[in-house]
Amino acid sequence: MPLRVCASPLCRFVRGAVAGLAMGLAAAAAPAQMRSLPSEVAAALDRAKVPREALSVVVQDVAGNAPARLAWQAQTPVNPASLMKLLTTSAALDLLGPAYTWDTPVWLQGSWRSGSAGVFDGNLVIKGTGDPKLVMERLWLLLRRVQQLGVREIHGDIVLDRSAFEVPAQNPADFDGEALRPYNVSADALLLNYKSVSLTFTPDAARGIALVSSEPPLAGVSVDTRVPLTTGALATVCNDWRSALQADFADPKQLRLKGSYSPACGEKLWPVAYADPAAYNERLLAGLWSEMGGQLSGRVRDGLAPLAPPTFSLSSPTLLEVIRDINKFSNNVMAQQLFLTLALTQRGLGTPDNAREVLHQWLTTRYGEAGRTALIDNGSGLSRDTRVSAQLLARLLQDMTAGAQMSELMSSLPVSGVDGTMKRSKSPPGRAHLKTGSLRDVTAVAGYVLTASGHLCVLVGIVNHPNASAAKPALDALIDWTARDGPGDLEAMK
């Protein structure tokens, strides 16, 4: 399938890069280059006790037809971890466009009670369409709009239509045993506040306690509001301040804190996935409606929305804003919401199988056999089974430079030494826009690096090995080598 025509000056500048990509990567895979790595990268791998065969690399100029600067095991299928988000967000930019928004329709289904101001006899119906950012502040705005229409008492139910997605039930602890980590929350057509609770700890030295506040309000759930401060506090205890709290969240109706908190830690925020995710929406809506002064005679329950036009709709931030959150901070839950949205918009129903089919077809159409052989599990990379090659990711990144969405994708990536998951990077500040990936046995980076001579390069580096976390300095060295224009210090492999 030919590439989309783009008329902008920037696209005309980089179009030649795409025309020469296949030739460049093929040349880069020549045996002489495949036997070499930059000496500092090889040395860092040796120090980490990671074999060089565990690394896959492509470094390729965006513009020009020159061979790749470096290609090492570029076609080997590997686990990309969160680099998978590059595929999901790139496909979404192409298929949905950066201005795409999710609309959450709302119905007042019933009638007003005569002679009783603010009393509505009927149901409040909310239909989810996959909005990845329906957080508490925006849910408050939705309910505030209901109140602005005159509703103070709902003599009926709050009905939630979640039928746009069909996601198999799963234990949030299945992936890594961390059931309370927000990144393990399952996707939902009506995902409210990531099904999580945020606990804030504020030390009050005068009273010898730390005050505990929680958001959002969950009906029927109590949270300990204070914990004692430790005496003789040392800043070193703040490295593991969560453990010192001895939290017990086993009972979803009572979040207990049996330990203590160090005043040296200052104010801290602890986001926790709610232990009973199936009951979260009910508790949140009932709690927030009550806190806003509303009354509900019925209950919050699942159901189907009417076919009639909605009373109003709440629009999400644009896709451009959403992918910045996904890529800058590697937000797994939002990536899964976007993945299923691709299925909903392209196949009519948000299921994992439909989403995999959409993304697989999108890759195959553009990259032929390289796209066809990619193994896609989910949209976030939170998987042990996903497999793609560094070469495919490099082709994707270079392809995106010739499309209308180049600036949108690049601006969504963390900037080295500046923000997101690259904020603490030791790479040259501001010289690289790189998505990071990290799992047990995987560490990875992919994106764009501006070299000292002013060239823009695509860089992909992925390590799959039990010691992968120790190999991060090797990827830092790879970024530095690329930023220096890759001087001729390639080490012949033994």
Alpha-carbon span 78 to 232, nearest angstrom: 49
What tokens does 386 get? Answer: 């996903």
User: Count of residues for the chain?
Assistant: 494
How many angstroms from the chain centroid is the CA of residue 217?
Answer: 25
From residue 301, how far is each of 104, 126, 165, 281, 296 by CA, in Å? 17, 11, 17, 9, 12
What tokens does 353 get? Answer: 């199988």
CATH of segment(s) 9-99+319-492: 3.40.710.10
Nearest Cα neighbor of 442 from 471, 422, 482 is: 471
Nearest Cα neighbor of 188 from 127, 139, 142, 138 is: 127
Question: What are the tens digits of pLDDT across the range 417-448?
Answer: 999 999 999 888 999 999 999 999 999 999 99
pLDDT tens digits in sequence order for the chain, 494 residues long = 333 334 333 333 333 333 333 333 333 333 334 348 999 999 999 999 999 999 999 999 997 677 899 999 999 999 999 999 999 999 999 999 999 999 999 999 999 998 888 999 999 999 999 999 999 999 999 999 999 999 999 999 999 999 999 999 888 888 888 888 999 999 999 999 999 999 999 999 999 999 999 999 999 999 999 999 987 555 567 888 999 999 999 899 999 999 999 998 999 999 999 999 999 999 999 999 999 999 999 999 999 999 999 999 999 999 999 999 999 999 999 999 999 999 999 999 999 999 999 999 999 999 999 999 999 999 999 999 999 999 999 999 999 998 888 999 999 999 999 999 999 998 889 999 999 999 999 999 999 999 999 999 999 999 999 999 999 999 999 999 999 987 544 443 33
Alpha-carbon span 322 to 329, nearest angstrom: 11
Q: What phi-psi label fits residue 454: left (phi over 0), alpha (psi between -120 and 50 degrees) or beta?
A: left
Alpha-carbon span 393 to 83, nearest angstrom: 8
Alpha-carbon span 345 to 44, nearest angstrom: 45
What pLDDT score does 426 carry? 84
Nearest Cα neighbor of 410 from 438, 446, 442 is: 446
Alpha-carbon span 277 to 81, nearest angstrom: 25
Alpha-carbon span 425 to 107, nearest angstrom: 48
What pLDDT score does 493 carry? 35
Q: What phi-psi label fits residue 115: left (phi over 0), alpha (psi between -120 and 50 degrees) or beta?
A: left
In the chain, CATH 3.40.710.10 sits at 9-99+319-492
What pLDDT score does 25 carry? 39
**Vertex 420: Cα angle to 419 and 422 (nearest 5):** 75
How many angstroms from the chain centroid is the CA of residue 119?
Answer: 41
Residue 227 — φ and ψ, nearest 5°?
-135, 150
Alpha-carbon span 231 to 209, nearest angstrom: 11
